[in-house]
Structure 1
């Protein structure tokens, strides 16, 4: 038996090898095609890339013809290089550089010599191409933008690099691929499938017809059209409101999770990344380390959420039954906690319950709610993990899985966070109480806060935010139609929503009311520290506002972040109110508010420390910051006094 095992293995192996060789040499023509590659010219037929539309059918991105000059170095005969350079309007040095690059890539395979010629350049060259052996023109499609906004949404297309070619056999030198945005996320759908034709050549390199009567030829298939969830009019308006400001706006339709607007500021016209100037323009954008126009703040910027996070603090407190609607905490212009520490409050002194705690944004009220939540169990670590579970159920602290290729998780701290921060233990609720007002270790992105407001608007559920509404001939991913439930019972949302409604009726956004629209919202500021030439400096606070509307049957939820904008109701709040009115009414009634917001610039704030100052200048700038902070607080106080007057009148 043992003697027969080895011969059997040898026989079986030999049979397998013989059968495989027979298949490759007789049946399968693939290797023959490759071996005959020197006598066959491969011609690619590039499909038209899919068009992109907004939710209302407005065409956003189309195509325009472009022409690449390809070169096969070994096929170059005697040509007049000076005439060639003159036709293309390029120096001889560039010709030599590009030819050397092509030789390094492959002497016998086509590669890009010069890309993205326009119609005029193509017309001038086409008539004389027969004089330049080894060179040929390949027609491709570049993007043709019908709007000047949405660059962060669309992304762009660019030539593939060698790394992509090595990783994916579909792509060849000179092919275009989606970079960033929708172009990257939906590359395989938008690009289509290129066709291939194999042309046979004789020994004189002349075309003698299709190889094997076109048996291996394939037909190109155009890319599929895509309809985005974006409202182009709202997107344009949001970008206009954010001119000369830095930050992000994200607006979502609560009932579907569809992203209505995704604004990052500053931005740029997507058309500048098309054509032969693309590389230069992209480099300029990339090297702008101050304004960072390529950095999508709506998806990537992680900010302390500030007072809008009090919504979560209140909901968790209700769910954990440490408070009810009538639970009262007293505020004495702030909140004293642990060893003489004090959390300043702008909500006014006196008794606060859930409703006026929200619309007056009382730090003392929510600080107490958080302490009771974390102190519910003997082990603060267990309490923090329960709290974090509630927080994460709103999509915070997680990359939510939307259909864009970039994003950040934010941060919802857990017991692991504090074990790292306090390796010797001993930490208690008072050590982390600043989480209650969105200032501690909590970090959120604008899209996460917008999604949080969508969940509140829906009274306990949300859909994963997404940018594509429909794809011709396909269904969108099932995960975008799957409902996500929060851990908070539905009954707890009603009093919180009423408190957010009263923010506009008699609270911190009273002066931002829009006639005919019931808006629920929350102002916020986030402290903003940085190091300027070795010194820790407190800059102007970030301005934050979250909202949804209408109160009943909400159609839009949004979050607005304006870096260094100050008090939430002074700049982020107006932007939010204007965006809501624009979307729901299609027009703006408060032209005074619109004009002030459009004209408001924060560039002086952003440029304050661009040039390195001497010590005296630095101290002067710090003093100016302190004065401006005092002015902001005076504005807040004035608004609070007007709110108190309204409240007294109402009562």
Structure 2
């Protein structure tokens, strides 16, 4: 019994010694080995300063700088470290703010967190920054956070580039990477490529004294992390062409989209009216944004090239001609007569009858109404609904009625009605070809975006395929690009049929009798184009033109919309011609045409009309 007691005594003593030893080892790890615990204990004398990386630069396709960075400074505050007896008057004078602003900002910072840093005053001037640096030791809890803001080499391409703004609470909740005061890309390239452009934040840990003065790096900087600069981006746009397009569209409303057919790269994307991207930088950003947003007359923030849905008008006829050829209901030699129209669809005066090539060149409504009717009444389909569905399949292949899958974040779909759409309005099997005949000439329920029309033109230029339009050529040093932009989209229409339509588009510009687009001709360059007049129930019709050049090995495909400008040949065709020559040759030969477009002021007329109504 005595031995048992002694054994228990030794066991208990051994357990006590073992527990003590484990405690000593644990304390050693905490106090000596593990820096993280020591950092937690030292938090009251350490300052963690986020190192914001420089945002990636943006270049044009020729290496010209479009967007760079400039230094900016935020005044940060940690409320728990501030002096309750702060000289508020002196502090406000130093930063040139009122006492009300001071109280409001302090309240907001305390509500966010008493111990975590938050932005007290954003983007102070260099002069204010210098003054504050000298006196900062008088105001514990306040310090300066360097940042970068965007800087633009030219006041153009706002709708392409997008802008950068401060994150809001919803973004912070969704993505823990962002903290109050951080910036994020909004719209355009800035938003689409945010993860590439933003880089990776770093942290520097400083030791500070009771006066908030930095005494040096903590642990000789061993605990710091280095900020990684954002990736540079080479965009697909030609900066000179973009600037020229915006100049041509000055005092007008509408859009220009130019694409390189061989790659799908967007060469220029103009939405007019536009704005200087520099307006959305700095402390005046919010004020300027509110002003632009409230301008409901001209909608400068609205990207017409991607978001406006127009009836394509006669620029849609080449597609219906291609479908008619592929479906075998017409041939290149098929002729239709035209007596100023077809049934209740009117047409302008021209020679009659016409074959397909001359019908394209003369933009004959009657020809394409009869072609479209043959497509929908084709005997190989059991009814009009089935034939209409087949017609819509072709349009789907061109990218109509859906997002093209570009790298533009705000691209809209346009609208191509389905059979069920007409079933709802007319009853199942109670509508026929004549019910929807207006779509033969790009009117009626059809809605397309300028981007979709430029893409259609690129597909015609390529004789039956396209690459998804995109605004970026390369990302980072590796020159990476999303694989979807290298995927060829084939259209199930024979290339020979495209050649027929292209001949008609060539004739429209080269000047065959009755040609509608002779104004778009460029000396020594074969241009293939198609005019359009999109009906507008709210005012004058829209001027529309699609084209590509040269005919063989095309370098540029383009769609131009000039709102309330009338016939396609009056405004849109000249703009497209000037843009194509500018890109191909780098200069303009027809100075008279250029000056006429530069002098054309439709905005003044529109504002006067809207004021009267």
- Equivalent runs, 1:129-148 vs 2, <5 Å: 129-148=136-155
**TM-score, normalised to structure 2's length?**
0.90
- Equivalent runs, 1:472-621 vs 2, <5 Å: 472-474=476-478, 475-506=480-511, 507-530=515-538, 539-611=539-611, 613=613
- The residue matched to 1:325 in structure 2 has which SS? coil
Distance 1:33 1:382, change over 3 A: farther
Q: Look up the match of 2:294.
A: 287
Distance 1:412 1:37, change over 3 A: farther
- The residue matched to 2:457 in structure 1 has which SS? helix
Q: Look up the match of 1:355.
A: 357
Distance 1:310 1:132, change over 3 A: same
Shift of 1:163: 1.2
1:454 and 2:454 aligned: no
1:299 and 2:299 aligned: no
Distance 1:214 1:127, change over 3 A: closer
- Equivalent runs, 1:220-369 vs 2, <5 Å: 220-336=227-343, 342-348=344-350, 350-369=352-371
1:470 and 2:474 aligned: yes
Distance in 2 (CA, whole Å) between partners of 1:513 and 1:205 is 71
Contact between 1:333 and 1:349, CA under 8 Å: does it hold in 2? no
Contact between 2:49 and 2:145, CA under 8 Å: does it hold in 1? no
Contact between 2:510 and 2:527, CA under 8 Å: does it hold in 1? no
Distance in 1 (CA, whole Å) between partners of 2:587 and 2:604 is 31
Q: Look up the match of 2:438.
A: 434
Match for residue 53 of structure 2 among 24, 47, 51: 47
- The residue matched to 1:434 in structure 2 has which SS? helix
Distance in 2 (CA, whole Å) between partners of 1:85 and 1:521 is 64
- CA deviations on 1:286-345 (whole Å, 9 max, x unpaired) are 111111111111111110000010010000000111110111111000110xxxxx1110
Which stretch of the first structure deviates more once superposed, 551-560 or 205-214? 205-214
Q: Look up the match of 2:384.
A: 380
1:187 and 2:203 aligned: no
Distance in 1 (CA, whole Å) between partners of 2:212 and 2:129 is 24
1:408 and 2:409 aligned: no
Shift of 1:159: 1.0
Shift of 1:87: 2.3
Q: Look up the match of 1:172.
A: 179
- Equivalent runs, 1:85-164 vs 2, <5 Å: 85-164=92-171
**TM-score, normalised to structure 1's length?**
0.85
Contact between 2:453 and 2:559, CA under 8 Å: does it hold in 1? yes
The alignment yields a C-alpha RMSD, in angstroms, of: 2.1
Contact between 1:332 and 1:349, CA under 8 Å: does it hold in 2? no
- The residue matched to 1:497 in structure 2 has which SS? helix
Gaps of 5+ in 2: 1-25
Q: Look up the match of 2:12.
A: none
Distance 1:205 1:373, change over 3 A: same
Shift of 1:206: 7.7
Distance 1:575 1:612, change over 3 A: closer
Distance 1:424 1:160, change over 3 A: same
Distance in 1 (CA, whole Å) between partners of 2:405 and 2:40 is 42
Contact between 1:347 and 1:363, CA under 8 Å: does it hold in 2? no
Q: Look up the match of 1:618.
A: none
Distance 1:559 1:31, change over 3 A: farther
Distance in 2 (CA, whole Å) between partners of 1:603 and 1:186 is 34
Q: Look up the match of 1:634.
A: none
Distance 1:32 1:301, change over 3 A: farther
- CA deviations on 1:405-459 (whole Å, 9 max, x unpaired) are 1110111222122222224540001100111111021111001000000000000
Contact between 2:141 and 2:212, CA under 8 Å: does it hold in 1? no
Moved over 3 A (4+): 25-40, 198-216, 608-613
Distance in 2 (CA, whole Å) between partners of 1:449 and 1:416 is 25
Contact between 2:258 and 2:266, CA under 8 Å: does it hold in 1? yes
1:421 and 2:425 aligned: yes
- CA deviations on 1:224-258 (whole Å, 9 max, x unpaired) are 11111100000000000000101110000000000
- CA deviations on 1:514-540 (whole Å, 9 max, x unpaired) are 11111000000111113xxxxxxxx10
Contact between 1:381 and 1:414, CA under 8 Å: does it hold in 2? no
Shift of 1:50: 0.9
Shift of 1:608: 3.7
- CA deviations on 1:175-197 (whole Å, 9 max, x unpaired) are 11111110111111111111113
Distance 1:373 1:116, change over 3 A: same
- Equivalent runs, 1:204-219 vs 2, <5 Å: 216-219=223-226
Contact between 1:254 and 1:555, CA under 8 Å: does it hold in 2? yes
Contact between 1:564 and 1:605, CA under 8 Å: does it hold in 2? no
Distance 1:396 1:383, change over 3 A: same
- CA deviations on 1:360-419 (whole Å, 9 max, x unpaired) are 100000000000001112321111111011011111111011112111011122212222
Shift of 1:85: 1.8
Distance in 2 (CA, whole Å) between partners of 1:334 and 1:414 is 27
Shift of 1:610: 3.4
Q: Look up the match of 1:638.
A: none
Distance 1:70 1:333, change over 3 A: same
- The residue matched to 2:267 in structure 1 has which SS? strand
- CA deviations on 1:597-623 (whole Å, 9 max, x unpaired) are 00101123321453365xxxxxxxxxx
Contact between 2:451 and 2:559, CA under 8 Å: does it hold in 1? yes
Distance in 2 (CA, whole Å) between partners of 1:236 and 1:259 is 14
- The residue matched to 1:289 in structure 2 has which SS? coil
Gaps of 5+ in 1: 1-21, 337-341, 531-538, 614-651
Contact between 2:502 and 2:528, CA under 8 Å: does it hold in 1? yes
